């Protein structure tokens, strides 16, 4: 079958997610394993969200609401947007794939920072796009160079905000300058999977951009802060015309009924998730101090993960950590040598990680 498959896919390396805890326990015979590899929320959803999930499970014999009516209504009210400006997805990853499928033809160009979330490049290559990788500048987006890279073939520019894996964010004045004079037929894709962790005053108001830019889409997820990674639900906000285009290629029933109910319940649990945000910030500071004590360089993060320079072979360091029951993300496959990315876990998990890291370095 290889001879009849799309030629564009053979330049793609399969995306390899972080190992699940059960797999590591099974393969290495370990009783205790902590996972700090996939930027997940280490805390479970609130009791009220879990109760909503239990109730919704009784109706899984029925197809879900393909329009996500109740979630759409509640989220639109919270974001102060037209409900029809929302499009829901099976994780925000699906919106990346949908956007590329809708706008990119074979030979078109897509501009991506390097390193950045791998799905941008994978999805683009499937459609035959030529990728223009623009290196990060001090682990931040080099918006000037990205803008200079635009040609008549450019169709999409991906902007992770905050960025994965660096954890840095885009400032409003820099984004305003970037968009000024940019062609209006280029889709500017703001991936805001981690936006809930940012409270900096100069963080770009991406939803405000929608008023003046019809070529902007903002995507977010319930996987990170809200802890619904296993249910796969994300959403995008854009102008009505852009949402209509994406809806034409959206799969029917792409968001399952349990995910819809859980996400809706999350919107009513502000105090619970505000407490989680504080825990993440407190533990982030603990990790910063621990890295300083170990003499390790790291990039200040505005997310729930940190990029760390281990000053040696990151693959070897990751493997040693794994054998000790700590799963982290080796960044060598992302083109970042000697770095690992660690998700911010619970206090207990973070203490174990630091203890083991200190032992193997």
Nearest CA-CA partner of 144 in 156, 135, 155 = 135
pLDDT band at 6 (very low <50, low <70, confident <90, very high): confident
Q: Give the Cα separation of 174 and 226 in Å (integer).
A: 29
47-266 has CATH 3.40.190.10 classification: no
- The pTM is what? 0.96
pLDDT of 159 above 90: yes
- Over range 250-268, report the average pLDDT: 97
pLDDT digits (tens, 9 = 90+) for 14-62: 888 888 999 999 999 999 999 999 999 999 999 999 999 999 999 999 9
Q: Which pLDDT score, from 0 to 100, does residue 156 have?
A: 99
Residues in the chain: 361
- Helix/strand/coil for 307: strand
Q: Which pLDDT score, from 0 to 100, does residue 273 have?
A: 96
pLDDT band at 355 (very low <50, low <70, confident <90, very high): very high
Q: Which pLDDT score, from 0 to 100, does residue 17 have?
A: 82
pLDDT of 208 above 90: yes
Q: Which pLDDT score, from 0 to 100, does residue 198 have?
A: 97
Query: With pLDDT > 70 as the criterion, what percentage of the chain qualifies?
Result: 100
Of the CA atoms within 13 Å of residue 287, those in its CB half-sphere come to 30
What would the DSSP string read from start to end of 309-358? E-SS-HHHHHHHHHHTTEE-EE-GGGT-TTEEEEE---HHHHHHHHHHHH
Q: Is 328 left (phi over 0), alpha (psi -120 to 50) or beta?
A: beta
pLDDT band at 245 (very low <50, low <70, confident <90, very high): very high
- Over range 350-359, report the average pLDDT: 98
- Over range 202-223, report the average pLDDT: 97
* Reported CATH class of domain 2-43+270-360: alpha beta
Task: Share the mean pLDDT of the chain.
Answer: 96
Q: Which pLDDT score, from 0 to 100, does residue 16 have?
A: 80
- Where do the CATH 3.40.640.10 domains begin and end in the chain? 47-266
Distances (CA, A) of 208 to 216, 276, 294: 10, 27, 42
pLDDT digits (tens, 9 = 90+) for 54-98: 999 999 999 999 999 999 999 999 999 999 999 999 999 999 999
Q: Give the Cα separation of 206 and 354 in Å (integer).
A: 36
pLDDT of 8 above 90: no
Q: Which pLDDT score, from 0 to 100, does residue 346 have?
A: 98
pLDDT band at 194 (very low <50, low <70, confident <90, very high): very high
- Where do the CATH 3.90.1150.10 domains begin and end in the chain? 2-43+270-360
CB 150 within 8 A of CB 183: yes
């Amino acid at each position: 079958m290889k001879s009849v498959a799309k030629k564009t896919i053979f330049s793609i390396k399969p995306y390899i997610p972080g190992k699940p805890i059960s797999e590591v326990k099974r393969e290495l015979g370990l009783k205790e394993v902590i996972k700090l590899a996939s930027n997940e929320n280490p805390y479970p959803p609130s009791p009220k969200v879990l109760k909503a999930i239990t109730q919704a499970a009784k109706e899984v014999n029925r197809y879900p609401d393909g329009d996500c009516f109740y979630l759409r209504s509640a989220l639109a009210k919270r974001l102060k947007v037209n409900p029809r400006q929302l499009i829901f997805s099976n994780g925000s990853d699906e919106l990346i794939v949908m956007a590329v499928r809708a706008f990119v033809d074979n030979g078109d160009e897509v501009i991506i920072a390097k390193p950045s979330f791998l799905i941008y490049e994978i999805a683009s290559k499937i459609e035959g796009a030529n990728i223009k990788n623009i290196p990060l500048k001090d682990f931040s987006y080099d918006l000037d160079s990205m803008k200079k890279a635009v040609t008549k073939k450019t169709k999409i520019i991906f902007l992770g905000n905050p960025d994965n894996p660096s954890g840095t964010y885009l400032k409003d004045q820099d984004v305003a300058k970037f968009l000024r004079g940019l062609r209006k037929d280029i889709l500017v894709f703001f991936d805001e999977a981690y936006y809930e962790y940012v409270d900096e005053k100069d963080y770009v108001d991406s939803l405000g951009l929608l008023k003046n830019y019809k070529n902007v889409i903002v995507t977010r997820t319930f996987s990170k802060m809200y802890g619904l990674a296993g249910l796969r639900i994300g959403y995008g906000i854009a102008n009505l015309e852009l949402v209509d285009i994406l809806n034409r290629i959206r799969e029917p029933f792409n968001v399952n009924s349990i995910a819809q109910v859980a996400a809706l319940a999350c919107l009513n649990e502000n105090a619970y998730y505000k407490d989680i945000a504080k825990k993440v910030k407190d533990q982030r500071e603990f990790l910063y101090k621990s890295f300083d004590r170990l003499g390790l360089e790291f990039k200040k993060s505005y997310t729930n993960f940190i990029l760390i320079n281990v000053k040696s072979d990151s693959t070897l360091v990751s493997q040693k950590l794994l054998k000790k029951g700590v799963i982290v993300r080796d960044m060598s496959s992302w083109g970042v040598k000697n770095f690992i990315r660690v998700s911010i876990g619970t206090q207990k998990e973070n203490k174990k990680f630091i203890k083991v890291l200190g032992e193997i370095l």
